[in-house]
Amino acid sequence: MGSNQTWITEVILLGFQVDPELEVFLFGFFLLFYSLTLMGNAMILGLICLDSRLHIPMYFFLSNLAIVDMSYASSTVPKMLANLIMQKKTISFAPCILQTFLYLAFAVTECMSLVVMSYDRYVAICHPLHYTVIMSWRVCTVLAASCWTFSFLLALVHITLILRLPFCGPQKINHFFCQIMSVFKLACADSRLNQMVLYLGSVFVLVGPLCLVLVSYTRILFAILRIQSGEGRRKAFSTCSSHLCVVGLFFGSAIVMYLAPKSNHSQEQRKILSLFYSLFNPMLNPLIYSLRNTEVKGALKRLVGKKRSV
């Protein structure tokens, strides 16, 4: 019996296990949120591309975050929506593993992107005279590419370790997508190594970056308090507060999901947490940035004004 043999060819996603009538309501509800996620992030991306005033590093990273958010939500939500209205709630094993890989990769990319954005704000506020030199377009491109590369390599490590396991059942996943901890339960071998690597990876990806973000914003706070002008302080706070809201939502829900003791949350609570940071977070990000950022609102007004004048 080869250790790399796989018996499972299809997996049943149990999803939310509610009445059929409620499944139709959930389909419409989640479809609305998914549409808002795509439209909101596409709007942010479009505004940044079309308005030359937003062609600066801060909005380059914001456009990168918008791409990550759309990809992040699209890795799980379409299959979840399909299962809500279909009788056969299954997914083939290979697409299941691919979904796990993409979800992990985009989650880590978002985490790394938020760290890079905090560094950009730190340089802009604490070293304004050297900002254009430190955050050159070459540096910005390297930082963004590094986020994607590191994230996909880390996800590949997890998937490689998963594929070493034999999968012979059970054939059911008590989740709405192939979440990595649920995939471990499909293995008919000891997955403690996988769980340990996942935990260590979560600590490295969540706790380390969060500490870097907190250090950056501590120094930013002291720099803002030294600004003499009240208008200058307000502008600095407005550009940072949006990012801090996004950081709080993402890191808070992810840490509760991956680092809190398992006994603290039931499986249904874990599903809701997963839904929060895989669908609601990507939907809220563009709302937070557009509602709290005067430059984004200004770009939207200019675009609407141009259309009216045509």
For the chain, give the mean pLDDT.
85
Q: What is the pLDDT of residue 254?
A: 80
Q: What is the pLDDT of residue 131?
A: 92
- For 155-206, the DSSP string reads HHHHHHHHHTS-B----EESSSS--HHHHHTTBSS--HHHHHHHHHHHIIII
Q: What is the pLDDT of residue 308?
A: 61
Domain count for the chain, please give it: 1
Q: Which domain holds residue 129?
A: 10-309
Residue 5 lies in a domain: no
Residue 116 lies in a domain: yes
Band (307; pLDDT cuts 50, 70, 90): low
Residue 257 lies in a domain: yes
Using the structure block, give the residue that is written with the tokens 């991306």.
45
> pLDDT tens digits, residue range 287-296?
777 766 677 7
> pLDDT tens digits, residue range 214-224?
898 888 888 88
Residue 47 lies in a domain: yes
Residue 149 lies in a domain: yes
CATH code of the domain containing 45: 1.20.1070.10
Q: Give the least confident one: 109-118, 184-193, 213-222, 297-306.
A: 297-306
pLDDT greater than 80 at residue 310: no
- For 82-144, the DSSP string reads HHHH-S--EEEHHHHHHHHHHHHHHHHHHHHHHHHHHHHHHHHHHSGGGHHHHT-HHHHHHHH
Residue 83 lies in a domain: yes
Q: Which residues of 185-207 are buried (b: 16+ CB within 10 A; e: fewer)?
A: ebbeeebeebeeebeebbeebbe
Band (256; pLDDT cuts 50, 70, 90): confident
Average pLDDT over residues 22-38: 92
Residue 208 lies in a domain: yes
| More confidently predicted of 115 and 275 | 115
Residue 1 lies in a domain: no
Q: Which two tokens stand for residue 80?
A: 């979840």
pTM of the model: 0.87
| Distance from C-alpha of 241 to C-alpha of 272, rounded to nearest angstrom | 26
The alpha helices in 11-92, defined as continuous H runs, are: 20-50, 57-74, 77-85
